[in-house]
A and B are shown apart, each in its own frame.
Chain A
Amino acid sequence: MWRPCGVFDATYEKDMAIVRTSRHWIALIVSLVIFFFIPLYGSYYIVSFINTLAITIIAVLGLQIVSGYCGQISFGQAAFMALGGYTSAVLTQKFGLSFWVAMPLAGIFTGLYGLIGGAPSMRIKGFYLAIATIAIHFVTLWLLLHLEITGKSVGLTVDSPQIGSFVFDTDERMFYIIMPIMILMTYAARNLVRTRVGRAFVAVRDNDLAAQVMGINLYYYKLLAFFVSCFYAGIAGSLYAHLTMVCHPEQFTLLHALWYIGMLIVGGLGSIPGVFFGVVFIRVMDEIVLIASPYLADWFPWLGMAPAAGLGLTAFGVVLAVFLIKEPRGLAHRWEILKASSRLYPFAY
């Protein structure tokens, strides 16, 4: 958060605060209020775009915790999201539970399933663990595609959430479910990473030898990171299923998991604001490419009939390469530099 020059902290309590001055509070509240009225004046396109952004942010927040903070690279996030979506779908459609019960249960169930996903982290790390999570992705999707209860290759249809007789059956209405949850989960993630458990995660990532010497049980914290991460994926999946009202394996491919990793890299590993930067940057870029590609096809016929299909991915690849070379610490790092310089404004020293 931007902090005016001359504000220094007298107590540790103040030093720990994220929102520091009353002006920050006012700015925060005003922007939240404006934000919450978006569905009233924004177009359908904007609202549905923001909805998917928010759901992606939840999933990538989870990935940030396990990969960015705890250092366990996971390509399983799309599969975990799928599991969350299917769990929520099965619980509401087959067991008649309300969405409000099914969603947290989907989170917890996916979290527990994530313990299986995290189990190999006891023996293997780095590249090998990443490969193991790819295996988990395929096993999970294979199961979802072949089990009777998940509707095999047809998938499942999902009902909209309800409160009393009020049905959240439009994107504008879903906005009011998705947004508060996204904000709540961002708040939780931000706090988690700055307290005891978060420091243990970073300790495991930065130096597993020293972490053990400081009394940190490596395996416990790796599994906990997977649990939390998959809990986030489960919630995101559940929201996604109830937003799109279907569950189908093709909504959750390995490519999605790859995009999520890319968003982390662009945003910056080990940063909560970085998740927002990464998701928004990549999704907006993809959207622009999508809009621009028909024109490109007109202007450059030699690109072929449908450049749109490949163009988004190509742009993604290029952006990723540029970031890895030019700014491996991601947009969050740029943001920190900007903040630090504005904090001293008007005295630039």
Chain B
Amino acid sequence: MNTSNSAADKILEVKSLNLSFGGLKALDDLDFQVMGRELLAIIGPNGAGKTSLLNCINGFYRPQSGTIQFHGKAIHPLQPHTIAKLGVSRTFQNIELYTGLNVLENLMAARHIHMKRGAFLGSIFFGPARREEIRHREVVEDIIDFLELEPVRKQVVGTLSYGVRKRVELGRALAMDPRLLLLDEPMAGMNLEEKEDMARFILDVAELRKIPMIIVEHDMDVIMDIADRAVVLDFGSKIAEGSPAEVVENSRVIQAYLGEEDEFETSSQ
């Protein structure tokens, strides 16, 4: 599948990253790394800049300064689709699927970068294009099996329940055979059972497919269960880093999360 990383490889390196929207500093001089096959959690209160960080990594946002290196290659001047081709894949906080396609087609669409046939051979179909379709269909069916999506494979994703759609989105990200997977709140809005399923799938991905992951999540319990390491953001800067057990004990982290509650009360007036 992909070149398996040894634990010491530096997959992603973010250095003094700054991103602001007008006067608002979304990311403030941020440094961190993803090593080997680790599952790195990014946590922080609402508006801390977690999603903005993922948007910088996959090229949606242009940071004003700083560098992002993926396997030693600077990626932040690149376009999102080029970064995708290098092997960065992601899911979204608010599900972003191809609503008109079924589950199978959504995953097949994610094989795009690994397929080659263009418009001409595609329109002839018989021969190269069909062979390619069958080959990639096998890869996709494996992922469908893995995520237990067989019962819905031919259903249009618009008709599926929220929890299943979240899973389809994970499947689509996996179908890219990524070398780095960014998950933006994969469990948000799920019930307990769905959360447990998702946690199991994420751990399986880490274990069986050995894909390094950045997972943005609010739920501390989930982080404690699955993450190898955590980076805590508050107002765009890193306030703590370490094992999940360490960071939850950190006084600045506790403060930030308590502060969020105050903020929540004042802002909801």
In the bound complex, CA of A131 to CA of B4 (Å): 50
| 0/1 interface trace, chain A 185-215, chain B, CB 8 Å (1 if under) | 0011101101111111011011101111111
B96, A195: Cβ atoms closer than 8 Å: no
Residues on A with beta carbons closer than 8 Å to the beta carbon of B97: 206-207, 210
CB distance from A280 to the nearest CB of B (A): 23
Does B161 touch A at the CB level, under 8 Å? no
Which of A195, A211, A224 touches B125 (beta carbons < 8 Å)? A195
CB distance from A197 to the nearest CB of B (A): 5
Does A235 touch B at the CB level, under 8 Å? no
In the bound complex, CA of A207 to CA of B172 (Å): 13
B118, A212: Cβ atoms closer than 8 Å: no
In the bound complex, CA of A207 to CA of B133 (Å): 22
| 0/1 interface trace, chain B 120-155, chain A, CB 8 Å (1 if under) | 001111000110111001100100000000000000
Which size bracket describes the interface of B in this complex?
35 or more
A160-198 residues at the B interface, CB under 8 angstroms: 187-189, 191-192, 194-198
Once A and B bind, how many residue pairs between them come within 8 Å at the CB atom? Answer: 117
Which of A12, A210, A212, A228 touches B119 (beta carbons < 8 Å)? A228
In the bound complex, CA of A195 to CA of B124 (Å): 10
| Closest B residue, CB atoms, query A188 | B123
Residues on A with beta carbons closer than 8 Å to the beta carbon of B176: 214-215
B99, A207: Cβ atoms closer than 8 Å: yes
| 0/1 interface trace, chain A 11-26, chain B, CB 8 Å (1 if under) | 0110010000000000
Number of interface residues, chain A, beta carbon within 8 A: 33
Say which one of B28-36, B102-110, B186-194, B202-210 lies at the interface with A. Answer: B102-110
A200, B124: Cβ atoms closer than 8 Å: no
A270, B100: Cβ atoms closer than 8 Å: yes
Residues on A with beta carbons closer than 8 Å to the beta carbon of B84: 212-215
Residues on A with beta carbons closer than 8 Å to the beta carbon of B229: none
The verdict on A200 contacting B112 (CB below 8 Å), with A13-B134, A206-B100, A214-B176 known, is: yes
A203, B89: Cβ atoms closer than 8 Å: no
A213, B58: Cβ atoms closer than 8 Å: yes
A216, B112: Cβ atoms closer than 8 Å: yes
Does B50 touch A at the CB level, under 8 Å? no
Quick one: which of B90, B133, B172 has the most chain A CB within 10 A?
A: B133
Residues on B with beta carbons closer than 8 Å to the beta carbon of A251: none
| Closest B residue, CB atoms, query A195 | B122
| Closest B residue, CB atoms, query A208 | B96
The verdict on A215 contacting B112 (CB below 8 Å), with A12-B134, A16-B130 known, is: yes
B125, A213: Cβ atoms closer than 8 Å: no
The verdict on A196 contacting B115 (CB below 8 Å), with A13-B134, A16-B130 known, is: yes
In the bound complex, CA of A198 to CA of B60 (Å): 24
Quick one: which of A12, A188, A195, A207 has the most chain B CB within 10 A?
A: A195
In the bound complex, CA of A199 to CA of B119 (Å): 11
Residues on B with beta carbons closer than 8 Å to the beta carbon of A199: 101, 105, 108-109, 112
Quick one: which of B58, B109, B113 has the most chain A CB within 10 A?
A: B109
| Closest B residue, CB atoms, query A13 | B134
Quick one: which of A191, A200, A218 has the most chain B CB within 10 A?
A: A191
| 0/1 interface trace, chain B 39-60, chain A, CB 8 Å (1 if under) | 0000000000000000000111
In the bound complex, CA of A12 to CA of B136 (Å): 10
In the bound complex, CA of A198 to CA of B100 (Å): 13
B109, A189: Cβ atoms closer than 8 Å: no
B96, A214: Cβ atoms closer than 8 Å: no
Does B257 touch A at the CB level, under 8 Å? no
Residues on A with beta carbons closer than 8 Å to the beta carbon of B79: 212, 217
Does B252 touch A at the CB level, under 8 Å? no
| 0/1 interface trace, chain B 158-172, chain A, CB 8 Å (1 if under) | 000000000000001
The verdict on A214 contacting B113 (CB below 8 Å), with A191-B129, A192-B119, A228-B119 known, is: yes
In the bound complex, CA of A16 to CA of B58 (Å): 33
A-B pairs with beta carbons under 8 Å apart, 21 shown: A16-B130, A16-B134, A191-B122, A192-B123, A195-B122, A196-B115, A202-B100, A206-B97, A206-B99, A210-B97, A211-B81, A211-B98, A212-B59, A212-B60, A212-B80, A214-B113, A214-B176, A215-B85, A215-B112, A216-B81, A228-B119
- Spell out A's residues near B (CB within 8 Å): 12-13, 16, 187-189, 191-192, 194-200, 202-203, 205-207, 209-218, 224, 228, 270
Known pairs A16-B137, A213-B89, A214-B172; list 6 more (Cβ under 8 Å). Answer: A189-B123, A202-B101, A206-B97, A206-B101, A207-B96, A210-B96
- Spell out B's residues near A (CB within 8 Å): 58-60, 79-81, 84-85, 89-90, 92, 96-101, 105, 108-113, 115-119, 122-125, 129-130, 132-134, 137-138, 141, 172, 176
